[in-house]
Amino acid sequence: MKNIDSKMNVRGESLYLDDYPVKEGCLHAVVYGSPVAHGRLKSLDLSEAKKMPGVVAIFTAKDIPGENQIGSIIPDEPLMADEEIHYKNMPTALVVARSEIEARRAIHKIKAEIEELPAIVCPREAKEKKKFIVAPRTFKMGAPEDLWDKCDHVFSGTADMGGQEHVYLETQGSYASYMEDGSIRVQSGTQATSYVQVGIQKVLGLPQHMIEVETIRLGGAFGGKEDQGTPWACLASLACYHLKKPVKLVLHRLDDMRMTGKRHPYAFDYKIGFSKDHKIMAYEVECYQNGGASADVSPAVMERTLFHGGSSYFIPNIAITVYSCRTNLPPNTAFRGFGGPQGMFVLEAAIFKAAHELGIDASVIQEKNLLYEGSNFPYGQIAWNCDAKKSWEQLHQECDVEEVRQEIEEYNKTHQDSKKGMAIFPLCFGVSFTKTSLNQGFSLVHIYKDGSVSISTGVIEMGQGVNTKITQVASDILSIAPERIRIHPTNTTRTANASPTAASTGADLNGKATQVACTQIKDRLIKLAAKLLNIVDCTRINLQNEKILLDGRATEIDWNHLILQALEERVKISELAHYATPQIYFDKTKEKGHPFAYHVYGTALLVSKVDCLRGTYEIEKAHIVHDFGKSMNLDVDVGQIEGALMQGIGLMTIEELLYNEKGTLVYDNLSSYKIPDIFCAPKEVIVSPLKSKPNELALYGSKAVGEPPLCYGIAAYFSIVKAMQAFNSKMDLELSAPITHQKVMETIYQKLC
């Protein structure tokens, strides 16, 4: 089935927040962000700004009727700066005017008197000063500390990985309307309608039932709207609450880039030990997470780094420690992969360095240490249906890796100023929210009198095609045409307490709930049909292509007739269903359990070519063997792989998230912060499904596909470093991502003369 949104999207007919027709009298809000990263707010002079044309009101922390608090995991995040400023561009005042341009002009007239304090931007410095968001955590298996003497080779080093700006095409925003009884209705650009509802509840001090939050779709999110859709909805609602008028707040791209948190940069110290035959005997890593000024979802991101610190390898003695460090940056947040890529990167960096020192290719170590059937993850779960080796082998069958290697060697021998490199990355990604309680989904299915079907779930469509998959489920179970089915916007009045659409679980959780709802309605319809046909044995009845079959043959009764009869006979043709992932649990006191419904495996091979005169590079080829389980929509899923690959390549190569020592984002617009374009795409991309088993905990056996393939971008980094080494084998291997063109240039001429 084609993605049901494609047609409207390409015609520009799909409604995004900024396209919603606004009500008469709608006001526009613009956020004033603090001019420094750390300080004490002495006074705020709003008098000039208030006199500006069109300005209706200016709100500050003092106007918050409830709590000035939106922290979702830890209550450490004020909605607006009150006495203290924790990061540059922290929301400090909200200007509301007749038009956005008038509000924006007034912003410049606000004068803040601030006692500036030194800013911390580096997680290592925060760690030294013991500024932690939560206590450090360690996942451990075996005893690496006892093994160093027994290893034949031990290597240690440091690595760094930069953050990433989400660059969702649609910036953050919300539109709040005042309803007759003082309730607030919010259209919000969020991945989590219920988080927005709770945020507004806290800030306005209203009960949750007075707040309705709705999301039609998002123009991308990538995690950036999991927690951070909330502040803008709270601010718009605050103004709406006081002024009793509709208020719209849509961030300008530049404000969005400066004010919102991003993927967490990490710094690492590692130590890795090998046996003679290149088995990893012990691995220890300390990860310093740059959390930004408040917790946001950093403790959960930290957890995913712990879970993925062993990547796709079995390491019998392993200790992964993460420090979640508080710095004066905007609160860093969820981003596709959610701390996983960081945990995987440092292990690949350790393997790469070890391979270099041992004079072998990293792939020798990789292959020797892959997870195998029944091996243990450091967190206690056992790798059943483990396809790590299988995906590695399938890649090697499909693509003659030795031949690629020889071609590269030949190329490098015959080219002076241009070098090629190849890297392989084996993937293992755990699917489920690491917080067990979030693994639940809801679906509300109604059948109307004319036989058309309406479905509301807790999931949010953000371009990933989840509404298409949910339509497929309903269409299959009820055996009606997809055109009969409409997926409605996600809304807190239809789906309460929904988990965020995150952790790649949206289709599994809400699709399975839809499966339950449709099956229950179908069972009742079959009973009714049996009654109408005077049949006792319901198993003789089936629904197919809008016909009711008896013993496999069409009867007089069709879908429309059956629905009319159901209403006549007072049979319930609506259902609210709930699905909670079975079998999963995690014991935080032991740091052991079975947190993931299943794992997604895969292996990617990337080839890069570096221009050693310019420091530029191209990615020539990406060959990916990916574990879809049994994909229920290969078009949608391959689209996710390609998008994630590009985003992962961006993360590892050209996207440079740079803050100066004052906590100012240096590349704060889309001409200096470069995201990958078509020229960054590999010249050849092959995505080939792993021949694996469908997984029963995945929707229709079709494994989650949102986040895991982003990690394939890690191979881009190592393929480039490999090419650089072919030019200069003496260069430093200090391994810090992203490997920008500038960094290539600075590195490849080291120690040459």
Q: How many residues sit close enough to ligand LUZ to count as binding (CB under 6 A)?
A: 14
Residues 314-353 that bind ligand MOS (CB under 6 A): 334-336, 338
Q: How far is the CB of 502 from ligand MOS (least distance, A)?
A: 3
Residues 671-710 that bind ligand MOS (CB under 6 A): 707
- Specify the residue, 302 or 370, whose C-beta has the smaller distance to ligand LUZ: 302
Q: Which of ligand LUZ, ligand MOS, none has residue 297 at its interface (CB below 5 to 8 Å by kind)? A: ligand LUZ
CB 438 within 8 A of CB 598: no
Task: Report phi then psi at 626, rounded to 5.
Answer: -120, 140
| Beta carbons within 8 Å of 573's beta carbon, 6+ residues apart | 446, 447, 521, 524, 525, 563, 566, 567
From 101, 102, 96, 100, select the one nearest 243 (Cα to Cα): 96
Binding of ligand MOS at residue 507 (CB under 6 A)? no
- For residues 186 to 225, the per-residue mask of contacts with ligand LUZ, x marking binding by CB under 6 A and - elsewhere, is -------------------------------------x--
Q: Which of ligand MOS, ligand LUZ, none has residue 16 at its interface (CB below 5 to 8 Å by kind)? A: none
- Specify the residue, 262 or 494, whose C-beta has the smaller distance to ligand MOS: 262
The 10 Å CB-count burial string (b at 16+, else e) for 316-350 is bbbbbbbbbbbbbbbbbbbbbbbbbbbbbbbbbbb
With contacts defined by CB under 6 A, name the span among 3-11, 19-27, 296-304, 667-675 that binds ligand LUZ. Answer: 296-304
Q: How far apart are CA 214 and CA 490, in angstroms?
A: 6
- For residues 223 to 252, the per-residue mask of contacts with ligand LUZ, x marking binding by CB under 6 A and - elsewhere, is x--x--------------------------
Q: How far is the CB of 628 from ligand LUZ (least distance, A)?
A: 19
Catalytic residue among 170, 212, 620, 707: 707
Binding of ligand LUZ at residue 28 (CB under 6 A)? no
- For residues 143 to 182, the per-residue mask of contacts with ligand MOS, x marking binding by CB under 6 A and - elsewhere, is ----------------------------------------
CB 368 within 8 A of CB 281: no
Place of tokens 């790798």: 383
Q: Which of ligand MOS, ligand LUZ, none has residue 434 at its interface (CB below 5 to 8 Å by kind)? A: ligand LUZ
Interface with ligand LUZ (CB under 6 A), residue from 202, 304, 469, 623: 304
Beta bridge pairs of residue 235: none
Task: Tell me which H or E stretch contains 594.
Answer: strand 592-594
Interface with ligand LUZ (CB under 6 A), residue from 362, 503, 710, 744: 503
Q: How far is the CB of 507 from ligand MOS (least distance, A)?
A: 12
Amino acid in the structure at residue 187: Q
Q: How far apart are CA 285 and CA 269, in angstroms?
A: 6
CB 701 within 8 A of CB 719: no
CB 615 within 8 A of CB 741: yes
Crossing angle for the helix pair 506-532 and 466-478, to the nearest 10 degrees? 20
Is residue 666 classed exposed, middle or buried when 0-12, 13-18 and 19+ CB atoms within 10 A define those classes?
Answer: exposed
Amino acid in the structure at residue 15: L
Binding of ligand LUZ at residue 344 (CB under 6 A)? no
Q: Which of ligand LUZ, ligand MOS, none has residue 300 at its interface (CB below 5 to 8 Å by kind)? A: ligand LUZ
Binding of ligand MOS at residue 223 (CB under 6 A)? yes
Interface with ligand LUZ (CB under 6 A), residue from 119, 334, 386, 698: 334
CB 232 within 8 A of CB 173: yes
Interface with ligand LUZ (CB under 6 A), residue from 283, 433, 596, 628: 433
Interface with ligand LUZ (CB under 6 A), residue from 297, 459, 604, 657: 297
Alpha helices per DSSP H over 318-400: 340-358, 362-368, 388-398
With contacts defined by CB under 6 A, name the span among 24-32, 176-184, 430-438, 564-572 that binds ligand LUZ. Answer: 430-438
- Specify the residue, 230 or 719, whose C-beta has the smaller distance to ligand MOS: 230
Q: How far apart are CA 210 and CA 90, in angstroms?
A: 28
Instruction: To the nearest 10°, report the CA torsion of 501, 504, 509, 512.
Output: 130
Interface with ligand LUZ (CB under 6 A), residue from 55, 213, 300, 698: 300
- Specify the residue, 177 or 439, whose C-beta has the smaller distance to ligand LUZ: 439
With contacts defined by CB under 6 A, name the span among 171-179, 211-219, 433-441, 570-578 that binds ligand LUZ. Answer: 433-441
CA 657 from centre of chain: 17
- For residues 683 to 722, the per-residue mask of contacts with ligand LUZ, x marking binding by CB under 6 A and - elsewhere, is ------------------------x---------------
Tokens of 499: 């988990």
Binding of ligand MOS at residue 502 (CB under 6 A)? yes
- Specify the residue, 334 or 498, whose C-beta has the smaller distance to ligand LUZ: 334
Question: Please, how many CA atoms are within 13 Å of residue 450, restricted to the half-sphere of its CB?
Answer: 5
Beta bridge pairs of residue 111: 45
CB 593 within 8 A of CB 380: yes
Is there a catalytic annotation at residue 170?
A: no
Binding of ligand MOS at residue 503 (CB under 6 A)? yes
Q: How far is the CB of 68 from ligand LUZ (least distance, A)?
A: 23
Place of tokens 């980094």: 717
E strand map for 170-312: 173-178, 184-188, 211-215, 247-250, 266-274, 280-292
End-to-end CA distance of the chain: 60
Q: How far apart are CA 394 and CA 239, in angstroms?
A: 57
Binding of ligand LUZ at residue 502 (CB under 6 A)? yes
Give the pairing of strands 247-250 and 490-491: unpaired
Active site residues: 707
Binding site for ligand LUZ (CB under 6 A): 223, 226, 297, 300, 304, 334, 338, 433-435, 438, 502-503, 707
Binding site for ligand MOS (CB under 6 A): 191, 223, 226, 334-336, 338, 502-503, 707
